[in-house]
């Protein structure tokens, strides 16, 4: 049994998600691919595979003959685009999965808190950096309080399209908030780097967590367990090297936390890399692949909960 879904946004992310749904999912069926550029590769590919298309944006979706059959709408446009799309779709009681940093609905990281929000009408997938790094912050915070966490996401410049570049500010703000709300850190900071190297490198992420006294082996075991959980739906997600746990330099504490630094003793550093599955995008675009893989996981579990009753 399957449910019909639509994707708004015929760019790289939306097209990759379409390929994943059509190749991998037994519970999701493509009901529509929506864009605004009739010449886009995503719309052309969708039409060639028999997926109904419209180049008239969300209004075109609403006017499509099969619109009533669509249960879930994935939005792969932009933060501003999602705000407009959510407003247009509000009267029709569709479930929304938001792959932009708009953050209208609850932040969801599948390996961390998906079960808490399966009934939400608008699920926000945070950002690519958030999907990659917040599980690590959560893995640390379930062992010991994390007063401060900082993430650095480095992605190939070629994998950052117009939507990503237009949303840099939203990326850093949304990711920082999610580090706190989902990851459990008292304070969070996010940085994104667009790497222009050629050949393009795969996505690499560094996660820093500051903590008080803690059992080092419990931390390493918790992180290893979390990496395994994420890799179940993002096969290219892995540790780059062993987790490092080192004493925190006093000057670092003073500059970051000031008077709030009391009791902090250790810096936990985790190095990650994310290789894409190359469904539509090149393998180096792990930053986009982790978003579409996470969204696919959300869509399938929403379908299982709402339609199949699992």
Binding residues for NAD(+): 10-13, 159-167, 287
Spatial distance between the Cα atoms of 171 and 129, rounded to a whole number of angstroms: 8
DSSP 90: G
Total residue length of the chain: 310
Place of tokens 């939005």: 75
Task: Give the number of other Cβ atoms within 10 Å of residue 273's Cβ.
Answer: 18
Which secondary structure element, helix H or strand E, spans residue 168, and what is its range?
Answer: helix 168-181
- How would DSSP label each residue in 87-143? HHHGGGT-EEEE-STT--S-B--HHHHGGGGTT-SEEE---HHHHHHHHHHHHHHTT
Of 33, 103, 128, 155, the catalytic one is 128
CB 192 within 8 A of CB 166: no
Q: String of b and e for 98-128 (b: at least 16 CB within 10 Å)?
A: bbbbbbbbebbbbbbbbeebeeeebbbbbbb
Place of tokens 């309080």: 145
Beta-strand relationship, 70-75 and 244-247: unpaired
CB 292 within 8 A of CB 286: no
Spatial distance between the Cα atoms of 31 and 196, rounded to a whole number of angstroms: 37
Task: Give the number of other Cβ atoms within 10 Å of residue 235's Cβ.
Answer: 14
209 among known catalytic residues? no
Closest to 102 measured CA to CA, from 118, 132, 125: 125
CB 170 within 8 A of CB 190: no
Closest to 110 measured CA to CA, from 286, 287, 233: 233
CB 20 within 8 A of CB 234: no
Question: Which residues are designated catalytic?
Answer: 128
């Amino acid at each position: 049994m399957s449910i019909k879904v639509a994707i708004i946004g015929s760019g790289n992310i939306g097209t990759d998600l379409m390929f994943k749904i059509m190749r991998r999912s037994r519970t999701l069926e493509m009901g529509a691919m929506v864009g605004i550029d009739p010449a886009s590769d995503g719309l052309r590919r969708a039409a060639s595979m028999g997926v109904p298309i419209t180049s008239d944006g969300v209004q075109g979706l609403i006017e499509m003959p099969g619109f009533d059959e669509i249960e879930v709408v994935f939005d792969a446009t932009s933060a501003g685009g999602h705000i407009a799309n959510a407003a247009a779709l509000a009267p029709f009681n569709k479930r929304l999965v938001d792959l932009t940093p708009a953050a209208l609905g609850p932040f969801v990281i599948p390996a961390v808190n998906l079960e808490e929000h399966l009934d939400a009408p608008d699920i926000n997938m945070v950002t690519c950096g958030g999907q990659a790094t917040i599980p690590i912050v959560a893995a640390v915070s379930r062992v010991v309080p994390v007063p401060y966490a900082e993430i650095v996401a480095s992605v190939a410049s070629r994998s950052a399209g117009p939507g990503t570049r237009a949303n840099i500010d939203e990326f850093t703000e949304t990711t920082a908030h999610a580090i706190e709300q989902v990851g459990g850190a008292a304070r969070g900071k996010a940085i994104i780097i667009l790497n222009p190297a050629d050949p393009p490198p795969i996505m690499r992420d560094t996660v820093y967590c500051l903590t008080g006294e803690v059992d080092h082996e419990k931390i390493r075991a918790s992180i290893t367990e979390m990496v395994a959980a994420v890799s179940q739906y993002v096969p290219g997600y892995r540790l780059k090297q062993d987790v490092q746990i080192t004493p925190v330099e006093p000057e670092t504490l003073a500059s970051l936390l000031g008077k709030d630094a009391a009791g902090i003793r250790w810096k936990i550093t985790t190095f990650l890399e994310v290789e894409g599955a190359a469904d539509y995008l090149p393998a180096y675009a792990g930053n986009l692949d982790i978003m579409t893989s996470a969204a696919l996981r959300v869509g399938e579990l929403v379908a299982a909960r709402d339609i199949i009753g699992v």
